[in-house]
Amino acid sequence: MNFVSIIMGSKSDYEVMKNSAETLEKFGVKFEMIVSSAHRSPERTKDYVKGAEEKGAKVFIAAAGMAAHLAGALAATTTKPIIGVPLDASSLNGNDALLSTVQMPGGMPVGTVAIGKAGAVNAAYLAMQILAISDDELAVKLKEDRVLKAQKVETDSKSIEVIL
């Protein structure tokens, strides 16, 4: 069974990361979601990733704040695609997590999305786009979603536009 795995460094990350889960749910994509930390529970993180891969995890979303090494730690454990979500959990507003997540050495990629909620949503979309390469039904759903988004822009515009 193919699924997306969402791992976050702390329970305190859930309020933002529930947006990844809700986005996947909207499209009927199966996922697991756990808390495991690169720093506080490195063995649990490694064991989980190996087990999840064996069960069918095709993409991993790793979210963490501060010195965010979770996505990089996953990249050290699996060659499945890793999407990193930097979170705002300190006085540096997520810039610390952004740099910690994005600045991977060559050959050890972590696809990094925006800090916070938009990143959580986009991580789910990106994960689905990866799955959709070999899932035509999901690919159609993603295309339909784009059409709806374009229609919404037109509807929104009509309610406020002034054109000479």
Q: Verify binding: residue 64, ligand RP5, rule CB under 6 A.
A: yes
Among 4, 6, 9, 84, binds ligand RP5 (CB under 6 A): 9
Among 7, 48, 49, 65, binds ligand RP5 (CB under 6 A): 65
Among 17, 66, 113, 127, binds ligand RP5 (CB under 6 A): 66
Asked if residues 64 and 38 have their Cβ atoms less than 8 Å apart, the reply is: yes
At what angle are helices 136-158 and 117-132 packed, to 10 degrees? 140
Residues 111 and 136: their CA atoms lie apart, in Å, by 23
Residues 139 and 21: their CA atoms lie apart, in Å, by 18
Residue 6: other Cβ atoms inside 10 A: 29
Sites for ligand RP5 among residues 91-150 (CB under 6 A):
none
Q: Is 49 or 66 the residue whose CB approaches ligand RP5 more closely?
A: 66
Retrieve residue 118's tokens: 């938009």
- Strand 57-65 relative to strand 31-35: parallel, antiparallel, unpaired? unpaired
Q: Verify binding: residue 10, ligand RP5, rule CB under 6 A.
A: yes
Among 14, 27, 32, 37, binds ligand RP5 (CB under 6 A): 37
Q: Verify binding: residue 89, ligand RP5, rule CB under 6 A.
A: yes
Selected range binding ligand RP5 among 61-69, 76-84, 103-111, 137-145, rule: CB under 6 A:
61-69
Write the burial class of residue 114 (CB in 10 Å: 0-12 exposed, 13-18 middle, 19+ buried).
Answer: middle
**How many residues at the interface with ligand RP5, by CB under 6 A?**
10
Shortest spacing between CB 124 and ligand RP5, in angstroms? 18
Asked if residues 10 and 35 have their Cβ atoms less than 8 Å apart, the reply is: yes
82: left (phi over 0), alpha (psi -120 to 50) or beta: beta
Q: Is 2 or 37 the residue whose CB approaches ligand RP5 more closely?
A: 37
Q: Is 13 or 57 the residue whose CB approaches ligand RP5 more closely?
A: 13
Q: Which residues make up the interface to ligand RP5 (CB under 6 A)? A: 9-10, 12-13, 37, 64-66, 87, 89
